[in-house]
Amino acid sequence: MLSTVLITGGAGFIGSHLADTLLARGYKVRVLDNLTPEVHGNAARRPERLSDEVELMIGDIRNQQDVRRALKDVDIVFHLAARMGTGQHTYEQAQYTSVNNTGTAVLLQQLIHGGVQKLVVASSMSVYGEGLYKDVHGQLVENVNRSVEQLQQKSWNPVDLEGRPLLACPTSELKQARIHSAYALSKAAQERMCLLAGEAYGIPVVALRFFNVYGMHQMFSNQYTGALTIFAWRLLNDRAPLLFEDGLQQRDFVHVKDAVAACCNAMDMIDSGCSVYNIGSGQSTTYHDVATMLARITGREHIRPEISGKYREGDIRHCFADISKAWKELRYRPQVFPDQGLAEITGWLKEQSTADRFIRFGQN
């Protein structure tokens, strides 16, 4: 008998890619998704990118009846449903809390009464806030913060208490959470709720802290999660990518195919405990470097990134993943290199007719 897998939020970016992979592996795939207009438009119809083999249940993760119906005869749950992004953290706190936390609570309440064998939950690098740093003596520094006054002076890099520069280094799962937004707070709570429920009820839970996932079918509407897609689209329209601060913020860009592989590896884990893993590429790349690579790939080498010198309050400076734990325990091996992944985005975008949706905003 084929195992049935439920993907909450499965009509979205990562979820639809995951569904394709699970179908190819012979699983029956069910998706619970409310087809939110911010992601799917106002038509509220089945997304074209979602395979016809997927059983789509349109419903709300916060609705007990919808969740109970979706969990029927399910063996494994991938919990991807969430209100996404950090850019709206000052004015969508109620939405983040409602969808990410209440929705997770409803899912867990229903899940503990069923026969689910494993829960894999999508967490986020945002729970770290700033990444890990070292001081001039080589000592690790966790609680890094950039003041508004510092940002107003366009002094972008974190410094120690004596004003000396700190060196960014890979961030491991051992780093304590440092919450910078309502979104990050909701994701940290979502992750912890799942782990607590797993420990209490003997359900194996794997939390995957995704870093900057990119790839085909990523939405344009969020400048945080879809930055590379937006950069590529602007270049294809002969416009310069717009970079905040000085464009040298370091991030870890991981292709959606690698994120999906991590999900499948988590599902296949024999260990029955509850664990947390970073899922990134294991490499640091600046926004400026990515914009330059995209310019080359799109044949727009003459278009240089536009350095705005603006900032967004709450943004972090550097954060990239230490993936050694996932490498050892999940057998996670990133396979998609930047040139390959960015070329794929560019090819996909050439087929799209979506208008340039990047919104200029920030502080002078």
DSSP category for residue 138: S
Distance CA 238, CA 328 (A): 43
What are the structural domains of the chain? 4-349 (3.40.50.720)
pTM for this model (two decimals)? 0.93
Short-list 58, 2, 4, CA closest to 30: 4
pLDDT in tens, 246-279: 999 999 999 999 999 999 999 999 876 899 999 9
- Helix, strand, or coil here: 158? coil
* HSE of 340, CA atoms in CB hemisphere, 13 A: 9
Q: Which residues of the chain are under the pLDDT cut of 70?
A: 1-2, 37-43, 85-92, 220-225, 272, 353-364
SS3 content of the chain, % helix, strand, coil (to 5): 35, 20, 45
- Taking a C-beta distance cutoff of 8 angstroms, is the pair 190, 101 a contact? yes
- Taking a C-beta distance cutoff of 8 angstroms, is the pair 280, 211 a contact? yes
pLDDT in tens, 54-74: 999 999 999 999 999 999 999
